[in-house]
Amino acid sequence: MEELRTHRNILCIDLKSFYASVECALRGLDPFETKLVVADESRGGGSIVLSVSPALKALGVPNVCRIFEIPKEIDNIVYARPRMQTYLEFSAKVIEVYLSFVSEEDLYVYSVDECFLDVTSYLSYYKMTDYELAQAVLKKITEELGLYATVGIGPNMLISKLALDIESKKANDFIAKWSYDDLETKLWPIEELSKMWSIGKKTEIKLKSWGIQTIGDIAKRNVNFFKKRMGIIGEELWYHVHGIDLSKIQDKYLFKRDPKSYGNSQVLFKDYFVPEIYTIILEVVLEVVRRLRMTNKVCRTIHFGITYSKDYNSGFSRQITLDNPTNSEKIIYEECRNIFFKYYDGVSPIRVVGLSLSKLSERNYYQYSLFADNELLEKEYKRNLAIDTVVNRYGKNAITRASALEEHSTVIARNKMVGGHNAK
């Protein structure tokens, strides 16, 4: 096992309650004292909470929930309307802080609020230990931006991430350093298997059914036990619980993989019925198919679903596989309508529309159908490419369908958002 161990100095840094902390910083408030919620209160109790301040987390409020799920007995709550563009700007400023310590090749941006830094070659330059350098980075983030962060330190990316998730967020100075020797005492005794990065709830249930009660039980079994049952994923899991991770930050461009599917959903803030719901279905289709065009992909499988309001039955979700791959808005919309006609009960109010396209392939290998108007489909594709060119340059609202002007349409408002939330 020793020959597979790497010995770097990796920092995994996570910004604490990022969105809520940004709102506190802009208001001059202490996030550890202020009970702040990032959510659009004007949308009602069903509005999604994107983040809560550490003060609310300490009271047991989860970071992501709905407004109505926040305990009524908690008073003096400050509500902040989400402004995604502002959060992205703060994220960029944090990255500038990181780049004041390391070069770009030694930085890997994992998400809007989480990054990995390889500081191995900088310790002698700064005349600091990795722990001291982590303290310096956190101090600069707080002094310059008013934000707080936690850090996991380890000999590779995996162990630094485990140190972050399992220990650093509870540490007094928000820093935890792990070595390979710490895994047996700090990782292996954990019974909630999904606390281990890379183990989801479904995998946890599967592992428990095999008699795996702790992370350590995985380490103590033979690797072939998991390889036979889970394939290469099981083998990788066995190595992970031993702390083995050969990935390098400098190889970050190798981490990018072609997506296996494209999806989109709209959470609606009022009840929709026929015929208005057709506009929403069309808008969802147009957005997902646009992603296909942007990556020169076509799909064969269409997965379409509807969720009803919470006082009704849950809804339905069905998928179909086409004879020929496509990226035609017309074909995909018609198939979604067909599923809707077949399974909608005709009366229930609708609150969510979701679509996922999978079994992707390159459009270069497009197979034309003997039963479709291929010339018409090609004209549709070229027309949409021209529209994409305008939209990419001037914004999504530069060209919209006439249906976007209908009162029940959401597309113009959503096009002004980032990630489904207000940009500013």
* Reduced DSSP (H G I as helix, E B as strand, rest coil) percent helix, strand, coil of the chain, to 5: 45, 20, 35
Tokens of 364: 């270069």
pLDDT tens digits along 186-203:
999 999 999 898 898 889
CA 25/CA 31 separation, integer angstroms: 8
Domain spanning 7-179 has what CATH number?
3.30.70.270
Query: Mapping DSSP to helix (H, G, I), strand (E, B) and coil, where does residue 211 land?
Result: coil
Closest by CA position to 137, among listed 116, 112, 156, 154: 116
Tokens of 361: 């392939």
Q: What angle do CA 110, 10, 186 make, to 5 degrees?
A: 95
pLDDT tens digits along 250-295:
776 555 556 788 998 888 878 999 999 999 999 999 999 998 988 8
Sequence letter at residue 289: V
pLDDT tens digits along 147-182:
999 999 999 999 999 999 999 988 999 999 999 999
- Is 329 in the active site? no
Contact predicate 363/298, CB 8 Å: yes
CATH architecture of 188-252: Orthogonal Bundle (1.10)
Tokens of 46: 């069903």
pLDDT tens digits along 331-369:
999 999 999 999 999 999 999 999 999 999 888 654 555
The per-residue pLDDT of the chain, averaged, comes to 88
DSSP assignment of 140-158:
HHHHHHS--EEEEEESSHH
Tokens of 198: 């890379």
407: left (phi over 0), alpha (psi -120 to 50) or beta: alpha
Q: Of these residues, 23, 114, 287, 329, which one is catalytic?
A: 114
Domain spanning 261-422 has what CATH number?
3.30.1490.100
Query: For 206, what's the count of Cα atoms within 13 Å in the CB-facing half-sphere?
Result: 9
pLDDT tens digits along 113-134:
999 999 999 999 999 999 999 9
CA 118/CA 368 separation, integer angstroms: 49
Q: How far is C-alpha 19 from the chain's CA centre? A: 14
Domains of the chain, by residue range, sit at 7-179, 188-252, 261-422
